[in-house]
Amino acid sequence: MKKFYSLLTVALLTTSWAANSQAVSVPFTSDRWSKEGAESTIETYQGKECILLKKGSIYIKDLQLQDGIIEVDLSFAQERGFPGIIFRMLDAGNGENFYVRPHQSGNPDATQYTPVFNGSAGWQLYHGEGYSKATQFKFGQWHHIKIDVHGRQADIYIDDMQKPLTKVTELKRDPKAGTISVYGGGIAARFANLQYTIKTPVTQAAMPVPANGTDGLITQWQVSNQVSQQLFANRTQLTADIKSKLNWQTQSSEPSGTLNLAKFTQPKDTNKVMVAKLVIESTTDQVKNISFGFSDHVLVYLNDRALYGGSDAFMSRDYRFLGTIGFYDMLCLPLKKGRNELWFVVGEIFGGWGVKAKLENMEKISLR
């Protein structure tokens, strides 16, 4: 009898796995798609029935996919645009996003993975290995895209199904089941042969965040509520009135030190800023260098006095300036003995709302 139940259990597990691992096609003529607000037509292009998505986005209404494989054919012209796929989409403002940049064919940022938090696609915070990658596009022809999502990782393939173009070693959103959306990203794009395979979710621990101050890296901040940028306009000195408008919560950065502020707010209004605050205890009067990056503009205050103001917005310096974040700026902080408050007042336009910072060393200081 025990053997019978063991065999039955194996059979049920095998059946469940087989059901989960079957590829499901969703024709673009299917009523499973929500096309509200989109401008599209069904047509045949180069032998494939497809949807020509001229404007907006569409999504599968009844899908909950956490881990699995997504495949689709994509065709586009040589235009400036950002056609792509959102997976694990919870709503219009939250999901994981992969897209292509036809106008950057062959360049390091021809393709892009980025998370979307509260309507903010943070590509300026996530660039380079594991996020963006060069590839050559075939304009007006079909590309086959496959996204293999497993736990906190994803392998993304274009045309070559044997070798991933991009291995995303850490998806930035916590794993959660959601739907699939496709969109043209400002240009007319064709999609065909979309299918998905649901797999049993893989449990993976998040990458550990280093302790605050490890090798100087700032991984814990006090983050304010969102306030009007006018509160800081032409203010070289912080006042009690300014401080009374702010509430604080302790927030951790990502392992890289990047603090994605979009996780904590609704970044729709470009007239808003948030403050990331750091308290530095110094055992002596000293000057300490700090390297930092921000997106898109910043005011830096130390002990209530303005030290720096800058803008790293997209194309703010030249036509190819992307505004990507890194440890590209440096300040010499005149620390006093005792408690020092360092404020980064960060505003967003688009492309990512964030800050990161790293002290040159931790000699004679500690962080609070």
Residue type at position 328: Y
End-to-end CA distance of the chain: 63
Q: Does domain 214-367 have CATH number 2.40.128?
A: no
How does pLDDT run across 180-221, given as a tens digit for each residue?
999 999 999 999 999 999 999 999 999 999 999 999 999 999
The confidence score (pLDDT) of residue 16 equals 39
- Whether 9 shows a pLDDT value over 50: the answer reads no
pTM for the whole structure: 0.90
Quick one: average pLDDT of 15-27? 70
Residues present in the chain in total: 368
The confidence score (pLDDT) of residue 48 equals 97
Structurally, at CATH architecture level, domain 23-199 sits in Sandwich (2.60)
- How crowded is residue 149: how many other Cβ atoms within 10 Å of its Cβ? 25
> Which ranges in the chain are annotated with CATH 2.60.120.560?
23-199
| Inter-CA distances, 148 with 152, 153, 155, 165, Å | 11, 8, 5, 12
